[in-house]
Amino acid sequence: MKKHNSEIPPVIIYSITGKCNLCCKGCYAGGFEKDKVLKPDEIRKLIKQAEGLGISYFFIAGGEPLMYDGILELIAEFRDIIFLVFTNGTLIDEKTIKIFKKNYNLIPIMSFEGDMENTDIKRGKGIYEKVMKKVNDLNNNRILTGFSVTVDRRNRKHIASEDFFKDIRKKFSFGILVAYQPLNEKEDSSNALSIAEYNNLCDEIDILAGKYSFSLLNFPGDEEKWGGCMSSGKGFIHINSNGDVEPCPFAGISAGSVKDKNLINILKTPYLKSIRDNKDQFRKIENGSCLLANNLDILKELKENLADNGK
C-alpha cells in the first residue's frame, strides 16, 4: 500500500516480549533480550501511529505475549485493528477467555507442532494435551481461533496428511504454516526443508486445503503469489520487544527504533527502501527458505554502506 510517499505494510509483526514460560527448540525468539520491552504508553503510541497510517493487522508474538501483563486489555483499546495473538496456549485462563470473547478483533493463534509426538518433543511432555484443552475451552466459548505450526523435516509428513487436515478443521477456523528457518550455527539446520522440499510441501498443502475447504497461509511460501519477499514494509514489518524495526523476524538488522522515531520515518529509510526495491541483490538460499535470513551478510553491508554515505 502506497501512502505518505512510502510503502505502508498492511501487517506489523510485533514480538512484544522475549520472555516465555516454555523453552522450545528452534524458536526464533530465543535470541531476543528478555528484559527489554516497550512500556504500555509506548505500545499505545506505536499502535496509534500504525492506525493513522492505515495498518489494519498486528501479529502479536513473543516469546509468549501473555507474559506481558495486561497486554490483552491494552490492545483491546484499539477496536479498528485486528490483533492475532500468537500464544503457546498454556497461560490461557478464564480471564483471558473472557477478554477474547468480549473483543472480536482479538484472535488467539495457538502454536503447536502439528501432533502430540512432535509438540511434546519440542515443547515438553504433556504440552500438546494442555494446548488442546485450551483450544476446546476457546471453542466452547465460540471464540474464533487459529493455529500456527512451524514446519520442518520432522513433522512435514504429518502436516501434509489427510489426518492432519481432518483434525484441524474440527478445532480451528484457519491456520498459518511457518517454514523452519535456522538463525545461527548452533541450530540444527539439517531439519530445515530445502527449497525444493518446501515448494513440494506447499503444493501438497494447497491441494489438501482445497479439498477440506480450510484457509491456510504458508509463510514464506505464499509470498511468491504476491510477487516475492514481502518483508521490509512491502507486506509486513517486524518490531522486536525493544522497539527496533526490522525487515523480518528472521533478519534482525534494525532500521531504527520506535522509541525515538516515528514509524513512518523508519519505513521511509533508504535501508528498508533498498531492500524493498532491489530484492535481486539477495540471491543466496542455502539454509531454509527465508531470503533475507540467508543473506544477512549482504544486509549488514547494505546498512553500513548507507550509513557511510550519510543515508
Say yes or no to pLDDT of 193 above 90.
no
DSSP assignment of 246-298, as one string? ESBTTB---SEETTTS-HHHHHTSHHHHHHHH-GGG-----SSS-TTGGGHHH
Smallest Cα–Cα separation from 24: which of 67, 64, 71, 60?
A: 64
In a domain, 143, yes or no: yes
Supply the pLDDT for residue 252.
78
Confidence of residue 269 (pLDDT cuts 50, 70, 90): very high
CATH of residue 101's domain is 3.20.20.70
Say yes or no to pLDDT of 161 above 90.
yes
Domain coverage including residue 165: 7-308
The top-scoring range by mean pLDDT among 192-196, 224-228, 263-267 is 263-267
Segment 149-167 mean pLDDT: 95
Supply the pLDDT for residue 271.
87
In a domain, 73, yes or no: yes
Mean per-residue pLDDT of the chain: 87
In a domain, 1, yes or no: no
Supply the pLDDT for residue 229.
74
- Burial category of 22 from C-beta neighbours within 10 Å (exposed 0-12, middle 13-18, buried 19 and up): middle
Supply the pLDDT for residue 288.
55
Confidence of residue 206 (pLDDT cuts 50, 70, 90): very high
Say yes or no to pLDDT of 42 above 70.
yes
For the chain, how many structural domains are there in total? 1
Segment 14-41 mean pLDDT: 78
Say yes or no to pLDDT of 133 above 80.
yes
Per residue in 92-132, pLDDT tens?
Answer: 999 999 999 999 999 999 999 999 999 999 898 999 999 99
Supply the pLDDT for residue 65.
97
Say yes or no to pLDDT of 141 above 60.
yes
In a domain, 112, yes or no: yes
Segment 197-221 mean pLDDT: 90
Backbone angle region of 143, left / alpha / beta, with phi > 0 → left and psi within -120 to 50 → alpha = beta
Say yes or no to pLDDT of 1 above 60.
no
Confidence of residue 2 (pLDDT cuts 50, 70, 90): low
How far out from the chain centre does Cα 236 lie? 10
The span from the CA of 120 to the CA of 143, in Å, is 25
Segment 158-175 mean pLDDT: 97
- As a whole-number percent, the residues of the chain with pLDDT over 90 amount to 60
Q: Are 78 and 50 in contact (CB under 8 A)?
A: no
In a domain, 2, yes or no: no
Say yes or no to pLDDT of 276 above 60.
yes
Q: What cell numbers appear for 230 in the block? A: 514481502
Per residue in 296-307, pLDDT tens?
Answer: 777 777 777 776
- Number of Cβ within 10 Å of residue 191's Cβ equals 17
Supply the pLDDT for residue 285.
60
Per residue in 46-98, pLDDT tens?
Answer: 999 999 999 999 999 999 999 999 999 999 999 999 999 999 999 999 999 99
